[in-house]
């Protein structure tokens, strides 16, 4: 099926209040342009260099989301344009994003990544760390980052009950920070294999790659 048809099918299967991030990592600009021509304006990448190259080549009304693990020494390359950083997993990283955002006189929207998978390969805060962070005066003093919500990745498994459990965990945390931080409105959970469950559990933003662009090499 074509990228255009895939996009239309997915848009049809998700509610209006859920934002679709088209995850275009490893895909050529020609594929992204096909999605762009079909109306897609939000793209997700997991490597800063690749995202920056695509930002330079693509139309300027695109919102670029950094969905991967962020190395602090590379924040400077995306600070000018990035629309949302999903994978913020430390105060140190948040401070670097704040510092680089200041140089462009910007406030960069960020999501705090929460570790929800039972497997331990994924990055992110656990519950306790997150609750400590949001009371930390250093965190509260940052002016050039805006925390918009949480991001999480469920375990890569066929066990749907486990995936649902993990999404319920992050949804509960989301409810907590939603009452404490006024700018919070985004819960980024759900990928090609699990976005239906994620939406049932309260996702407001899904990150979908292979179901739009086909399998990656």
Angle at 71 between CA 88 and CA 172, to 5 degrees: 15
Give the C-alpha separation, 160 to 130, whole Å.
26
Binding segment toward ligand PLP, per CB under 6 A, in 57-65, 98-106, 120-128, 208-216: 208-216
The mark string for 113-152 relative to ligand PLP (x by CB under 6 A, - otherwise) is ----------------------------------------
Q: CA nearest 65: which of 49, 43, 48, 47?
A: 43
Q: How far is CA 72 from the centre of its chain?
A: 17
When binding is defined by CB under 6 A, the residue of 23, 51, 85, 197 that contacts ligand PLP is: 23
Judging by beta carbons within 10 Å of its beta carbon (0-12, 13-18, 19+), is residue 194 exposed, middle or buried?
Answer: buried
Q: Report, in Å, the least distance between residue 209 CB and ligand PLP.
A: 3
Residue 39 or residue 214: which is nearer to ligand PLP going by CB? 214
The reply on whether position 207 binds ligand PLP by CB under 6 A is: yes
Map the footprint of ligand PLP across residues 54-73, applying CB under 6 A.
67-68
Binding segment toward ligand PLP, per CB under 6 A, in 100-108, 125-133, 175-183, 203-211: 203-211
Give the C-alpha separation, 57 to 60, whole Å.
9
When binding is defined by CB under 6 A, the residue of 71, 118, 210, 214 that contacts ligand PLP is: 210
Q: Report, in Å, the least distance between residue 194 CB and ligand PLP.
A: 8
Number of residues that bind ligand PLP (CB under 6 A): 14
User: In this structure, are residues 212 and 7 in contact, taking their beta carbons and an 8 Å threshold?
Assistant: yes
The reply on whether position 155 binds ligand PLP by CB under 6 A is: no
Q: Which residue's beta carbon is nearest to the bound ligand PLP?
A: 209
For 194, residues 6+ apart whose C-beta sits below 8 A from its C-beta are 154, 163, 167
User: In this structure, are residues 161 and 167 in contact, taking their beta carbons and an 8 Å threshold?
Assistant: no
Give the C-alpha separation, 167 to 67, whole Å.
17
| Positions in the binding site for ligand PLP (CB under 6 A) | 23, 25, 46, 67-68, 153, 191-193, 207-211
């Amino acid at each position: 099926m074509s990228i255009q048809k895939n996009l239309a099918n997915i848009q049809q299967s998700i509610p209006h209040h859920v934002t679709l991030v088209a995850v275009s990592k490893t895909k050529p600009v020609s594929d992204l342009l096909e999605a762009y021509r079909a109306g897609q304006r939000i793209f997700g990448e997991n490597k800063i260099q690749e995202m920056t190259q695509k930002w330079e080549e693509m139309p300027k009304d695109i919102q670029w989301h950094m969905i991967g693990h962020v190395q602090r020494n590379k924040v400077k390359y995306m600070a000018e344009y990035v629309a949302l950083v999903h994978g913020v997993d430390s105060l140190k990283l948040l401070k670097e994003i704040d510092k680089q955002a200041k140089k462009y006189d910007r406030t960069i929207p960020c999501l705090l990544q929460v570790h929800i998978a039972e497997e331990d390969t994924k990055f992110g805060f656990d519950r306790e760390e997150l609750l400590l962070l949001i009371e930390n005066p250093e965190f509260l003093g940052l002016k050039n980052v805006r925390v918009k919500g949480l991001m999480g990745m469920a375990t890569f498994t066929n066990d749907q009950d486990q995936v649902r459990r993990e999404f319920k965990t992050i949804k509960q945390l989301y409810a907590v920070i939603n009452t404490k931080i006024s700018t919070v409105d985004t819960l980024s959970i759900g990928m090609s294999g699990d976005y239906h469950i994620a939406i049932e559990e309260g996702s407001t933003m899904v990150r979908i790659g292979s179901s739009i662009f086909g399998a990656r090499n």
